[in-house]
Amino acid sequence: MSDREIIDWLMNGDPSIRWQVIRDLSGAGEDIIEAERMRVSTEGWGAEILSRQDPDGKWSGQLYNGKWVSTTYTLLLLKEFGLLPNERSETGCQVLFENGIFENREIRFSAGQQFRDDGVTGMVLGILCYFGYREPRISGIAEYLMERQRPDGAWVHDDRPGAEQYLFENTLLIARALWDYQKATGDDSGNIREARMKAHEFLLDRRLINSNDPKCLLFSFPNYWHYDVLAALDYLRAVDIMDPRLADVIRTVRKKKNSDGTWNLQNRHSGKVFIDMDAVGKPSRWNTLRAKRILAWWEKANGTE
């Protein structure tokens, strides 16, 4: 397919994809982008998922467990869709915060709030900030996460044996959450910038590759809490961290391009879902959108458009 045909194919998808295509690949004005983005709550996947919300503000009666249809993962997906904050998202955020806040610094959903999970704390911080949930204690969550960062820039989810196998997952989740916090609060203090830069260096020094997890090279969507190089690249693109150490994974993205100009869904994280969006082994609008905007960003910066 030609580039124009690829854009047309993407634009035949859900509003959650269309508005991002318009923003990232077409160069349209803000009014056109926002008009399409508003449809996320009233049409297609976003509207369907919003309609599944329980009367008490949860989804599937669960705060966190019940992957991937619990309140946490549903709001995380709606965040990926670009849903604009509304009454339903506000209610969901309130449920997460009020049931998860622990010692005014963490989010814990484990039974009796016994166990720490800094990845979950970061995930929920990002959700709350993205949807504009107003609560003074949110700043304490951000401060807590910065205190928990390791000297090498990474995060573990807790201090129990085996936690290090999830360094990449937690580091990307929390770096994104601190970025969401910065955008929501306007806090551009040196501590937050330093924490995020240290996290970026951890990932860049390793060329985004988790050598202990070959699946990090398989492109999935949604990622939920999982890590892969396409998700990491898309985050670094969004925050405009251009670095020559990305060259190898950029080549990987190019190699995975199909002959028709699309990218496949290569992996799916098992669990219950409200909606099947793409089929494994088939062209994926989500992966095609993300790969195309990553390559456009890279090529513009490196003079190879």
Q: Is residue 1 part of a domain?
A: no
Residue 304: pLDDT above 80? Answer: no
Which of 205, 223, 249 lies at the terminal end of a domain, its last residue? 205
pLDDT reported for residue 160: 86
Q: Is residue 6 part of a domain?
A: no
My answer on whether 226 and 109 are in the same domain is no
Q: Is residue 30 part of a domain?
A: no
pLDDT reported for residue 239: 98
Domain count, the chain: 2
My answer on whether 169 and 292 are in the same domain is no
Q: pTM above the 0.95 mark?
A: yes
CA atoms within 13 A on the CB side of 210: 24
Terminal Cα distance for the chain, rounded: 18
Per residue in 253-289, pLDDT (tens digit) is 999 999 999 999 999 999 999 999 999 999 999 999 9
Q: How many CB atoms lie within 10 A of CB 154?
A: 22
More confident residue, 160 or 263: 263
Q: Is residue 20 part of a domain?
A: no
The Cα angle at residue 234 between residues 233 and 240, in degrees rounded to 5: 85
Least confident of 149-163, 167-181, 198-212, 266-280: 149-163
pLDDT reported for residue 109: 97
My answer on whether 265 and 199 are in the same domain is no
pLDDT reported for residue 161: 85
Q: CA-to-CA distance for 48 and 62, rounded, in angstroms?
A: 18
The mean pLDDT of 168-194, rounded to a whole number, is 96
DSSP code, position 131: T
My answer on whether 143 and 243 are in the same domain is no
Largest CA distance in the chain: 56
Tokens of 71: 């309140």
pLDDT reported for residue 159: 86
My answer on whether 55 and 187 are in the same domain is yes
Tokens of 182: 């910065």
